[in-house]
Amino acid sequence: MSDKRQKKKRESDGANWMDTYGDFVTLLLTFFVMLFASSQMSESKWIRIVESFTGEPAASIVEPIDPLNPTSGFAPSDYIPKVTPRDKTEEDKASNDNPEENEYDQELAAVFNDLYEQLQQYVNDNGLQNTIALEKEGEYIYITVLDGILFDELKADIRDENAENILNNVATMIANSQNSVRAITVQGHTDSTPIKNTTQFKDNWSLSSERANEVKRYMTEHSDLTDDKFYTTGRADQDPVAPNDTEENRQKNRRVKFIVQSMNAPPDK
């Protein structure tokens, strides 16, 4: 009788151990299932699960982490190698070059160079070396005209037929090459002498601005150049080319400057 009780007791003890182990495995499995599910659930579902276990608002217990946009802890993306695109080699760039585009750029450059040569020839043929200064730097042509040729003192109207003839010729040459021209900036410049005894312009800023605008208006009205090619600005006495200490130097500072930009030049310069 005693042996039967001991045997029954041993069998009972074994069953209890298996129950405990089974509970442990079940809980562990549940834990991993929840861990996997939490990586693919929305924040609202996570909150409902927390509240079902605690009976309290989830916000008072834990601040949930959006697994798709974590701000702390681990995220799957942390373990995904980040691949940096390979920089293009010179061979890659050469293989991507467009021969037709290069040829077109060369044609534009040739037309732009021809424009500069035409302007030089016009100045030389008409003895205007003391009136018009020309310079080419890279993709830019600079044309400087003394304002005494274009305007009367303290005026912004084109002064006479000679001034009109100069503007007509410059505008026509640029218009004939305008496929190679991105933009034309017209700058008005004055000396440092304050404006007095005139009600039309209160200062050199307004005078230089109006002269630049008048040149642009005349050139667009008397050639095929369009407004969208032009930018105008008045610089007053801010960019002197000589000290304003003699009348000769002040005459040099009173000028209109054209900046002709090639189509091959960077558009933002």
Query: Cα–Cα–Cα angle for 260, 262, 263, nearest 5°?
Result: 135
Residue 84: pLDDT over 80: no
At residue 102, the pLDDT reads 83
156-178 pLDDT, tens digit per residue, is 999 999 999 999 999 999 999 99
21-74 pLDDT, tens digit per residue, is 777 777 777 776 676 666 655 566 656 665 665 555 545 444 444 544 444 443
Residue 146: pLDDT over 50: yes
| Mean pLDDT, the chain, integer | 80
Residue 86: pLDDT over 70: no
Pair of tokens at residue 41: 């659930």
Highest mean pLDDT among 50-54, 97-101, 148-152: 148-152
At residue 23, the pLDDT reads 75
Highest mean pLDDT among 18-32, 109-123, 254-268: 109-123
At residue 25, the pLDDT reads 73
At residue 236, the pLDDT reads 97
Domain 106-262, architecture per CATH: 2-Layer Sandwich (3.30)
Q: List C-alpha distances in Å: 128 to 6, 37, 64, 241, 269.
A: 130, 85, 80, 19, 30
Average pLDDT over residues 200-213: 96
**130 or 20: which leads in pLDDT:** 130
**10 or 163: which leads in pLDDT:** 163
